[in-house]
Structure 1
Amino acid sequence: MATVNIQQLRKNYGAIPVLHGIDLNIADGQFVSLVGASGCGKSTLLRMIAGLESVTSGAIELNGRVINDISPKDRDIAMVFQNYALYPHMTVAQNMGFSLHLRKESPARIDAAVKETAAMLGLSNYLDRYPKALSGGQRQRVAMGRAIVRHPQVFLFDEPLSNLDAKLRVQMRIEIRTLQRKLGTTAIYVTHDQMEAMTMSDLIVVMNAGRIEQVGAPIEVYDRPANLFVATFIGSPAMNLIEGVLEHDENTSFIKVGSQRIALERHIDLAASSPVVMGIRPEHLTLAEVPETGFSLPFTVDLIEPTGAESHVYGRCAEAPMVASLSRRDDLKLGQAIQLRGRCEHIHVFDKASGARMA
């Protein structure tokens, strides 16, 4: 097992900076997801940990030992790739045992390790097959088995489920998380799918343009996003953002949105008349009566998406796009003007200028 500590890690391609001083501490046995939009640097960071990309500056430590200049094969780190990277001319058993073969382990040791791992992954009946005879999910299991059989200190996953269909992705993410917990191995998982990150991780690292925006437990990142980027990236549908102006009255702060003046539960340490952004998650909006500590916003219905248990209702509030996730199946009509209500405790406030969370 292992701890991974990253200190002021930078990566340049020529004169172009890609990673801008990454600091990250990963505890032994943690499952950590790196999330962000395409091109944010998450896969580059993963490949640097694996040793597949050089370090421009900074340090990567494995159990306190700097591994910047150690070759990939000597880092005791196993990586599972997006495209499986299986050898097509080798059987499942040969693919899974190949790393042990390179280590010159005995045939008996390799056979025992492969069979043990195959049983764990439900691959015992496929050991003599070639990759072309396997489904996508089975190929992904073989790729995982090839990593597991080595008993590495760290697992690295580079968007391993992106080639699978939606149902199989859900099944495989459960299997990966269950397996990682059973083995207790530190895991770093790259994904652009924030739902994967939310459901699988002990810790989420939200990246943007080569920088870390926030690190925290999934619920912490969801409930208290550090800035506007995190607020809009984590959550589906995304958080609603409405521009307003901050006002103060003795010890109470208000947000003025159009003609509405919404009282906040907390005093916001920002000058009066400052432009702010009010955030409210779609599931915190309702058609019910205004609660005692609540607010009401005018809303015009533009689109209704039934999903079964609830409906996503898209529309406009003060000319800003907005969506509500409503559990009630009310007979709403396109173009209908309604009132959406919520509790003040669910409001997030961001400074419009910096994007930083204020409350």
Structure 2
Amino acid sequence: MATVDIRRLVKRYGAEEVIHGIDLSIRDGEFISLIGASGCGKSTLLRMIAGLEDISGGTISIDGREVNDVAPKNRDIAMVFQNYALYPHLSVADNMGFSLKLRDVPKPEIVRAVGEAADLLGLTPYLKRMPKALSGGQRQRVAMGRAIVRKPRVFLFDEPLSNLDAKLRVQMRTEIKALQRRLGTTSIYVTHDQIEAMTMSDRIVILNGGRVEQIGAPLDVYDRPANLFVATFIGSPAMNLIEATARRDGDRLFAETDDGLRLPLDGYGVAEGATVTVGVRPEHLNFVSSDAAGALPFAIDLIEPTGHETHVFGRLGRHQVVVIHSERVAETSSASLAIAPGGIHLFDRATGQRIERS
């Protein structure tokens, strides 16, 4: 187990800078996910930690030891790749123990280490098999076992589940998290799948264009996104956004759209005339009767039943929104919505930054 400290980390390819001064501290035994769209720099950052990419600026330290110029094999880390990277001519046992063999570890110790890892991963019956005789999930377990036998201080995962089918992904992410908790090894996990990041991580790091947008516990990031990018990136379906202007009516503050829609901004200290973006999660829009307090007319365009919930797409005025409803919704063309208490997120339209309640 180990701490990982990243300070003002920069990566350049020629004149182009792709990682822009990232700061990140990872606690001993923590499971942290790096998430973002393709090209955001998450895999590049992971490879820099592994020593597979040169560092253009800043420092990376593991347990207080700077490793900028330390070879990958001497960083005491183990990496699990997206494509398994198994040797097709070696058995499961030989694949798992290969790194120990290269280090001239005595054969009895290799057998013991491989056996312990196989027990952890449910691979004991398959130790004599070749990779071609394994399923995708079993191959990924072998790749994890190869990392475990090294007993590294840090695990690095580079989108390890992206080649698996949906059902197996769910199973494997549960297994990876349970294994990490059992071993207590500091783990850094790269994914583009927000469900993986939300369900597996102690904290998530949202990257955008080589910069950190927000770091926090999954539910904290979901409940209090730091800016519009995070608000729309985390959550599926994405947060509904409505551009408006702050207006006062007596003692009450509203966000008023250009087509006359008025959304209450109770608790916010925004100046009259400020341009804002109102965000509402789809599950915080509730169907109500048309005469209910705060009811908003909703024109329905499409209803998508998913089984355990229903996604309803439509318009509040001219603004496209989606509603997540926990029950079945009958086919209809119109309804009324109300925003759940505390369901409004407010952002400065110019900067995109979150505005907190007073």
Indicate the TM-score class for this superposition, using the shorter chain for normalisation: over 0.9
What is the distance in 2 between the residues matched to 1:204 and 1:5? 15
Report the alpha carbon displacement of residue 89 of structure 1 after superposing the two structures with TM: 1.1
Counterpart residue number, 1:163 = 163
Counterpart residue number, 2:119 = 119
Counterpart residue number, 2:283 = 283
Report the alpha carbon displacement of residue 291 of structure 1 after superposing the two structures with TM: 11
Residue 116 of structure 2 aligns with an amino acid whose one-letter code is E
Q: Where do 1:238-249 residues align within 5 Å?
A: 238-248=238-248
Given that 1:251 and 1:267 are in contact with CA atoms closer than 8 Å, whether structure 2 keeps it comes out as no
Counterpart residue number, 2:314 = 315
* Change in CA separation of 1:109 and 1:222 when aligned onto 2, cut-off 3 Å: same
* Greater shift in the superposed pair: 336-345 or 282-291: 282-291
What is the distance in 2 between the residues matched to 1:204 and 1:8? 19
- SS of the aligned residue for 1:332 comes to coil
Q: Where do 1:5-44 residues align within 5 Å?
A: 5-44=5-44
TM-score (norm: length of structure 1): 0.96
Given that 1:265 and 1:344 are in contact with CA atoms closer than 8 Å, whether structure 2 keeps it comes out as no
* Change in CA separation of 1:180 and 1:204 when aligned onto 2, cut-off 3 Å: same
Report the alpha carbon displacement of residue 341 of structure 1 after superposing the two structures with TM: 1.3
Given that 2:32 and 2:205 are in contact with CA atoms closer than 8 Å, whether structure 1 keeps it comes out as yes
* Change in CA separation of 1:183 and 1:8 when aligned onto 2, cut-off 3 Å: same
Structure 1 residue aligned with 2:336, among 328, 339, 357? 339
Report the alpha carbon displacement of residue 273 of structure 1 after superposing the two structures with TM: 1.3
* Greater shift in the superposed pair: 167-176 or 84-93: 84-93
Report the alpha carbon displacement of residue 252 of structure 1 after superposing the two structures with TM: 4.3
Deviation string, structure 1 residues 30-85 (Cα, Å, up to 9, x no partner): 00000000000000000000000000000001011110100000000000000001
Counterpart residue number, 2:304 = 305
1:108 aligns with 2:115: no
1:351 aligns with 2:352: no
Report the alpha carbon displacement of residue 327 of structure 1 after superposing the two structures with TM: 1.6
What is the distance in 2 between the residues matched to 1:190 and 1:5? 17
What is the distance in 1 between the residues matched to 2:232 and 2:94? 45
What is the distance in 2 between the residues matched to 1:15 and 1:92? 44
Q: What stretches of structure 2 of length at least 5 have no aligned partner?
A: none
Q: What stretches of structure 1 of length at least 5 have no aligned partner?
A: none
* Change in CA separation of 1:186 and 1:250 when aligned onto 2, cut-off 3 Å: farther
- SS of the aligned residue for 2:5 comes to strand
Counterpart residue number, 1:181 = 181
Deviation string, structure 1 residues 66-125 (Cα, Å, up to 9, x no partner): 101000000000000000011111111011001111111000000010011001101001
Given that 2:290 and 2:336 are in contact with CA atoms closer than 8 Å, whether structure 1 keeps it comes out as no
What is the distance in 1 between the residues matched to 2:108 and 2:142? 20
Given that 2:310 and 2:329 are in contact with CA atoms closer than 8 Å, whether structure 1 keeps it comes out as no
- SS of the aligned residue for 2:178 comes to helix
Deviation string, structure 1 residues 224-261 (Cα, Å, up to 9, x no partner): 00000000000111110011111245764321133232
Q: Where do 1:219-298 residues align within 5 Å?
A: 219-248=219-248, 252-257=252-257, 258-269=259-270, 271-289=271-289, 295-298=294-297
Given that 1:263 and 1:344 are in contact with CA atoms closer than 8 Å, whether structure 2 keeps it comes out as no
- SS of the aligned residue for 1:34 comes to strand
The percent identity for this pair of structures is 62
Deviation string, structure 1 residues 251-290 (Cα, Å, up to 9, x no partner): 6432113323222231234x32122111000111111348
What is the distance in 1 between the residues matched to 2:152 and 2:217? 25
Report the alpha carbon displacement of residue 337 of structure 1 after superposing the two structures with TM: 2.3
What is the distance in 2 between the residues matched to 1:68 and 1:305? 51
Residue 13 of structure 2 aligns with an amino acid whose one-letter code is Y
What is the distance in 2 between the residues matched to 1:175 and 1:129? 22
Report the alpha carbon displacement of residue 137 of structure 1 after superposing the two structures with TM: 0.2
- SS of the aligned residue for 2:354 comes to coil
Residue 300 of structure 2 aligns with an amino acid whose one-letter code is V
Where in structure 1 do 4 or more consecutive aligned residues deviate above 6 Å? Answer: none
The root-mean-square deviation of aligned C-alpha atoms, in Å, is 1.5
Report the alpha carbon displacement of residue 297 of structure 1 after superposing the two structures with TM: 2.5
Report the alpha carbon displacement of residue 319 of structure 1 after superposing the two structures with TM: 1.9
* Greater shift in the superposed pair: 280-289 or 62-71: 280-289
